[in-house]
Structure 1
Amino acid sequence: MDLDARSLERVPNSGSAEYARPAAHKRSGKWIPKDPWAKAAVIWATVQLLIIVLLEAIVLKKHADNNDQLKLALGQDKNAIANASALTIYHALFMVAQVFQWVLAADAVHTYSMIEMVSTTLFNCALFAYAGMQYKQAKDIADGISRSPNFEATTGLLNAHPASTMEIIIVCAMGFFVVGWIVLSQRLYRVFGWSIFKELGADISVRNRLKLYHIYLMLLKLDVFFFIGFDVQYLILVILSGNSGGSPNEKWIHGFGAIPFTLVLLVIAYMAVRRESKILMTATLLGLSGGIGYLISKLVDVLRKGDQPKYSGSKNSLTFFEAITLGMCVATFIFALLTFRNFGKGLKEQLSKSRRGDLEMDNMQRGRQGRQKDTPRYTLE
């Protein structure tokens, strides 16, 4: 049987005569691993998901109740209502982000990927900053509404920002979880040991190509959240808000152009590297170039015209989110180009061989376990 070199590295399997590859050289096979630090990472991500989503749901409920009262009292002030309603998008996006961080953490542990674990930590740092941005955005909107003439007499409200305390708690909680992710990343570095780079032996050039390959795939995973998140925010908060003042066709161009284009581009980008297709990767680079130009134009527009009604209630959040999305797009373009240069240098064949070796080894181990289970056991009496 033609197994790759990694299968020759054998270690005793639970004291038996059987041998298996070191756990760090293969997928864990389970979403909850046996290693205590890896298990702690999954538990930490789950606890964060439950706590933050619960707190954010409370904020969303308080905000929705407050909006209902504002709509009754400030029915003529459409701009103020639009600003307050914009916060609902931030809350929903923040809850989706918590689910996304759990998926990243679970997949990092499942694949023993230190790249993905570091990305999970950085993603949570971004969520921490976004939580602070969310509080600042809500405070600015509430202050603007509170300054309107006869606010208290008109609305019957003493405070236009009743969820402020809960939002501060979320910011503090996210800071606490970020510290935990930093500690877990340091501990898991010893567990994973950058094992993903050891898949193809000791050849430095092959390892470097493999490193670029995995970083590129990791960027594509993050792009799914940031690209779609920006498209949805811009569509709802700017184009469909009624304050855009732009062309009537803009919502059709963005809604039926930018979002479908983003989804198709990400699929093509993934297929290009898996198949080492020069045509698909060229299309990916062209698409990313267009995306970079589009994001730059929108970012300049927000910075130059941030005080106009079209960006009311969304300037700070859009600027923050758009800057990160632009950075992700540029990084994806760079690593796509670097990966493109490695096409035809044997990485695809090596990865196929690696996957076949994993499958054969798993089949061998299952066969051994089955034979051990079916073998009758005799005892001397």
Structure 2
Amino acid sequence: MPDLTPLLGTRAQRGFLGTVVLQGIVVLTMTGISFGKVAAHVNTGSNRLFRTLPCYFALFILAQLFHIILTFDALNLRNIIQVVGLLIFQACLTIYGGIQIQETRTALVQTPGADCATNYVTCSGPGSLWAAIEPFQIVVPIICGLALGVMIYFTWKLYQEFGWAVFRMVGADPELKDMFRYYQIMIVLLKFDYFAFTGLTMQLLILVLADRSAQFALTIAAIPIVLILLTACGYAVGQEIKWLMQISLTLMLASEAYFIYKFSRLFASGSRHQYDSTRKSLGVFIVASFFLLLATFCVGIKCYLDFDKGLKSSKIREPNSLPRWRRDAMRESKSAHPMSPGPSPDVRATYYTAGEPLRERISIE
């Protein structure tokens, strides 16, 4: 039976969102303490090695806010595909948190054999700055890993509640359901593309903030271009605008070249020194962003090939997948006009109602 409960009306929904929020509070507290301890003793902008801490802290702030917003969005839309995407995102955060431990140590421990009494910041023994923040660094991937396990449990419960919603919005036609599934995957990928690009740009700006070079200008210029690209692509795939989709797909390939270029900068002789303490984590981030955009491009091609096949006229969202205020407005409108005709047979065919026999379904040609 379909889920007719309001947003956050079930234990699984509250549990999933609560897990993400609680993790965000703990992770941001741990990273905030680490950053505060470092900032109290060193100027993080004075040395490229020290910039890994503000880079790490800023990325986790962005990641946790993004995680909470997309979790609420997924529960509001009853979108199980997006929920699964959040699990993958959570796994990536866990891995990134683990990588960051070693990179933070590389940034701070520059004289490992030195006496910590006179080299508190750069030594590695007991009583060093690294020893003071190491426990807080270790807690981050542990908390993320535990939260991932809890989220997997609640995802199974959520699938039982509304896993049907994505696949039954366009009637019984299997071809339309397949096209709609790819459309939903495309929209979810674009949402994660926003985070990947914003996170990468933010890290690069922090690392080269003091270098007023062509690289800095190029990074700044890329921000509006890519954000406009992603927005235009989402609009094009939703409205099935072929020329705009063609431009978006072409620019995606150009963006892939940008990722390759940025990855090469991590190892080029003239720029590798800028990334001494962030090469591993930034490299993993760039590679992940590259393959995420590549997946978006491939799914975008599939969506483009599905244009003009009847999906646009069949993108009728179920009342139960609409935000609550929209459902209330629909009920008020219906009560205010009791004699007004109901939805067309094609629309009724996509609705599932509780306590009523299903009406005859009319296939969509």
Q: TM-score, normalised by structure 1?
A: 0.78
Quote the offset at 1:88 in angstroms. 0.8
Quote the offset at 1:363 in angstroms. 4.7
Quote the offset at 1:366 in angstroms. 2.9
Distance 2:13 2:107 in 1: 42
Deviations 1:318-367 (A, max 9, x none): 10110111011101100111111111111111115868x97997555335
> What does residue 159 of structure 1 align with?
128
Aligned pair partner of 1:131 in 87, 97, 100: 97
Quote the offset at 1:266 in angstroms. 1.1
Quote the offset at 1:312 in angstroms. 2.1
Looking at secondary structure, tell me which structure has more helix per residue. Answer: 1
Aligned pair partner of 1:248 in 204, 213, 217: 213
Quote the offset at 1:309 in angstroms. 1.3
Distance 2:216 2:58 in 1: 21
- Whichever residue aligns with residue 41 of structure 2, its letter is N
Aligned residues: 330
Large movers: runs of 4+ above 6 Å:
148-151, 357-361, 368-371
Q: Does 1:36 align with 2:11?
A: yes
1:177-326 equivalence runs, <5 A: 177-237=147-207, 239-242=208-211, 248-255=213-220, 257-303=221-267, 305=269, 308-326=272-290
Secondary structure at 1:163's aligned position in 2? helix
- Preserved CA contact (<8 Å) 2:51 2:206: no
More displaced stretch, 293-302 vs 89-98: 293-302
Secondary structure at 1:310's aligned position in 2? helix
The structure having more radius of gyration, on CA atoms, is 1
Quote the offset at 1:184 in angstroms. 1.3
User: Kindly tell me: are residues 102 and 354 of structure 1, through their superposed partners in 2, closer, same or farther at Cα, counting changes over 3 Å?
Assistant: closer
Secondary structure at 2:41's aligned position in 1? helix
Secondary structure at 1:146's aligned position in 2? coil
- Whichever residue aligns with residue 138 of structure 1, its letter is T
Distance 1:284 1:118 in 2: 25
Q: Does 1:114 align with 2:89?
A: no
- Preserved CA contact (<8 Å) 1:67 1:85: no
Secondary structure at 2:76's aligned position in 1? helix
- Whichever residue aligns with residue 44 of structure 1, its letter is T
Structure 1's unaligned 5+ residue stretches are 1-21, 72-77, 372-381
Deviations 1:138-182 (A, max 9, x none): 012222x23487775355874141211111112211111111111
User: Kindly tell me: are residues 334 and 368 of structure 1, through their superposed partners in 2, closer, same or farther at Cα, counting changes over 3 Å?
Assistant: closer
> What does residue 377 of structure 1 align with?
none
User: Kindly tell me: are residues 370 and 38 of structure 1, through their superposed partners in 2, closer, same or farther at Cα, counting changes over 3 Å?
Assistant: farther
RMSD after superposition? 2.9
Distance 1:106 1:195 in 2: 16
- Matched-pair identity in %: 24
User: Kindly tell me: are residues 260 and 211 of structure 1, through their superposed partners in 2, closer, same or farther at Cα, counting changes over 3 Å?
Assistant: same
User: Kindly tell me: are residues 308 and 362 of structure 1, through their superposed partners in 2, closer, same or farther at Cα, counting changes over 3 Å?
Assistant: closer
Deviations 1:225-264 (A, max 9, x none): 1011112212321x3344xxxx932321221x21111111
More displaced stretch, 43-52 vs 360-369: 360-369
Quote the offset at 1:94 in angstroms. 0.6
Q: Does 1:55 align with 2:30?
A: yes
More displaced stretch, 335-344 vs 146-155: 146-155
Structure 2's unaligned 5+ residue stretches are 338-365
- Preserved CA contact (<8 Å) 1:59 1:167: yes
1:369-380 equivalence runs, <5 A: none
Deviations 1:104-154 (A, max 9, x none): 2111111111101101111111111111111111012222x2348777535
Distance 2:326 2:38 in 1: 55
- Preserved CA contact (<8 Å) 1:217 1:270: yes
- Preserved CA contact (<8 Å) 1:60 1:88: yes
- Preserved CA contact (<8 Å) 2:189 2:292: yes
Distance 1:235 1:179 in 2: 34
Distance 1:125 1:188 in 2: 19
Q: TM-score, normalised by structure 2?
A: 0.82
- Preserved CA contact (<8 Å) 1:135 1:167: yes
Distance 1:82 1:102 in 2: 31
Secondary structure at 1:153's aligned position in 2? coil
> What does residue 170 of structure 1 align with?
140
